[in-house]
Amino acid sequence: MKSMRVHSLFALFLIGILPILFFTWEIVNTYNTTAFEQRQSALLSQGSSLANLLLSSGYFTDSSSEEANTELYRVTGIYEGRILVIDSNLNILKDTYGIEDGNIIISEDVIKCLRGTSSIYQNKQDNYIEMTVPITHNTTKEIMGVLLMNFSTKNIHTITTMLYQKASVLFLTTAILIFVYAFFYSGVFTKPFISLKKAIGHLTEGYMDEEVTVGGFYEVKQISNSLNQMLLRIKNLESSRQEFVSNVSHELKTPLTSVKVLADSLLMQENVPSELYREFLVDIAEEIERENKIINDLLSLVKLDKTASDMNITSIKINELLELVLKRLRPIAKKNNIELIYESFRPVIAEVDEVKLSLALSNLIENAIKYNVEDGWVRVSLNADHKYFYVKVSDSGIGIPEEAQDFIFDRFYRVDKTRSRESGGTGLGLSITKNAVHMHRGAIKVYSKENEGTTFTVRVPINYIA
């Protein structure tokens, strides 16, 4: 019953059938009411002209007037009815059925009519109209008697019934036609959805290389286009996942290969002097340390790939956070003879995840120190407006070639592999930074010129947007 086809079938059917039902019912009903009204007014005028005739023919003194009686029978003949002529003493002077002649009538309606209130009833069940018409003297206005008229309305009933029968046949025929039409069109409406379902089923079975091509309605085409876009995104994600896995394996294997080479070369020689053992073991320890760093960076990256619900948001003084990061990095800067400058334009309090933001900013500052020139400088500045705070990390370093700037945020990408490796880089730092900034709904940009220096700007909303 939840089926779209069943629903649209019923909707179309009802939309088609209800107006027809309403109109046929309304037409037959209007005929019936109008016919009754017309019959009533015709009878009333017949009644009043009969009353005039009875008066003029002196019927109340002599009820044998041929002219009046002929007219009485003519009217009852035409309209299939019965007329009683009653005088003011309730004597029945004439009954066109010839049953009650000379009798006295005790009828509430007749008495009321003699007092001036005539009545009229329509009985649609038994198909008759009954009415009382006063016979009023032209000059004295005295009510001389009453005409009690009862007429059949069977012919109106017969025509109404016939109209109802014809309407029913018409209604049934159209109902069948509309049902067939609704059945056909509900199928046309739902067909593209069934095709879409089939296409999705095909994708789920693993045939991801095939495009979804469902025609028909514009909206369905749009769904199918969106589906294809989603498919493309999934494919891209899958290929970047595969690339990532292969890069990870490669990066993790490199230090292990070095360790193996170092160990093997020691094992292959005999009587190796202990200084050489020591030297090689120092190298082996370095490689292990490097392996450790790659694993740690990978773990940070995996953590940052999770959803926003993993954010631990608190209100933090960003000035203090930056000072802490700089304090940790100052020894490294000093070792490389790099001047570390910090500028703060205003105190900033913002809703951030302290650990993730520290990691992001410290990666940027560490890079600025690592990829710097001798006796260079690194300038870190903090500013804010009513919506965002901005951290700018500039350096006097080696810069990033323009063609490489699009890739530096990719995982494992390094402009100069040897230099990065020498300074303990893994190629994951900027991906970690970018992910952390994006999780804060922020943005990161790079401006750099080779051999002149680099500037990274980070913009983060002061109030966290979930």
Kindly tell me which of 192 and 429 has the beta carbon lying closer to ligand ADP: 429
> Cβ closer to ligand ADP: 43 or 393?
393
Q: Report the nearest approach of ligand ADP to the CB of residue 393 (Å).
A: 8
Q: Residue 187: which residues within 8 A CB-CB, separation 6 or more?
A: 5
Min separation Cβ 315 and ligand ADP, Å: 29
CB of residue 240 to ligand ADP, shortest distance in Å: 16
Return the number of the residue (71 or 395) whose C-beta is nearest ligand ADP: 395
Cβ-based burial of 78 (10 A; exposed 0-12, middle 13-18, buried ≥19): exposed
Q: Work out how close the CB of 285 gets to ligand ADP at its nearest, in angstroms, rounded to a whole number.
A: 20
Cβ closest to ligand ADP, residue 359 vs residue 384: 359
CA distances from 1 to 10, 188, 233, 335 (A): 11, 18, 36, 76
Nearer to ligand ADP, 9 or 430 (CB): 430
Nearer residue to ligand ADP within complex by CB, 192 or 427: 427
* Closer by beta carbon to ligand ADP, 210 or else 402: 402
Provide, rounded to whole angstroms, the least separation between the CB of residue 290 and ligand ADP.
11
CA 94-100-103 angle, 5° bins: 90
Nearest CB to ligand ADP, comparing residues 134 and 399: 399
Contact footprint for ligand ADP (CB under 6 A): 363, 367-368, 371, 395, 397-400, 408, 413-416, 420, 425-430, 454
Task: Give the nearest distance from C-beta 299 to ligand ADP in angstroms.
Answer: 15
Supply the minimum distance, in Å, between the C-beta of residue 430 and ligand ADP. 3
User: How far apart are CB 425 and ligand ADP at their closest, in Å?
Assistant: 3
Nearer to ligand ADP, 91 or 247 (CB): 247
* DSSP collapsed to 3 states, the chain: CCCHHHHHHHHHHHHHHHHHHHHHHHHHHHHHHHHHHHHHHHHHHHHHHHHHHHHHCCCCCCCCCHHHHHHHHHHHHHHCEEEEEEECCCEEEEECCCCCCCCECCCHHHHHHHCCCCCEEEECCCCEEEEEEEEECCCCCCEEEEEEEEEECHHHHHHHHHHHHHHHHHHHHHHHHHHHHHHHHHHHHHHHHHHHHHHHHHHHCCCCCCCCCCCCCHHHHHHHHHHHHHHHHHHHHHHHHHHHHHHHHHHHHHHHHHHHHHHHHHHHCCCCCHHHHHHHHHHHHHHHHHHHHHHHHHHHHHHHCCCHHHCCEEEEEHHHHHHHHHHHHHHHHHHCCCEEEEEECCCCEEEEEHHHHHHHHHHHHHHHHHCCCCCCEEEEEEEECCCEEEEEEEECCCCCCHHHCCCCCCCCCCCCHHHHHHCCCCCCHHHHHHHHHHHCCCEEEEEEECCCEEEEEEEEECCCCC
Q: Quick one: 134 or 427, whose CB is closer to ligand ADP?
A: 427
CB of 391 to ligand ADP, least distance (A): 14
Q: Is 278:249 a contact under the CB 8 Å cutoff?
A: no
Minimal distance, residue 316 CB to ligand ADP, in Å: 24
Q: Which residue's CB is nearer to ligand ADP, number 43 or number 294?
A: 294
| Nearest CB to ligand ADP, comparing residues 149 and 432 | 432
In whole angstroms, give the CA distance from residue 92 to residue 106: 10
**Which residues lie below 8 Å from residue 450, measured CB to CB, with a gap of 6+?**
398, 399, 400, 401, 402
> Nearest approach, Cβ of 231 to ligand ADP (angstroms)?
30
CA pair distance 217, 214, nearest whole angstrom: 9
Smallest distance from ligand ADP to CB 354, Å: 21
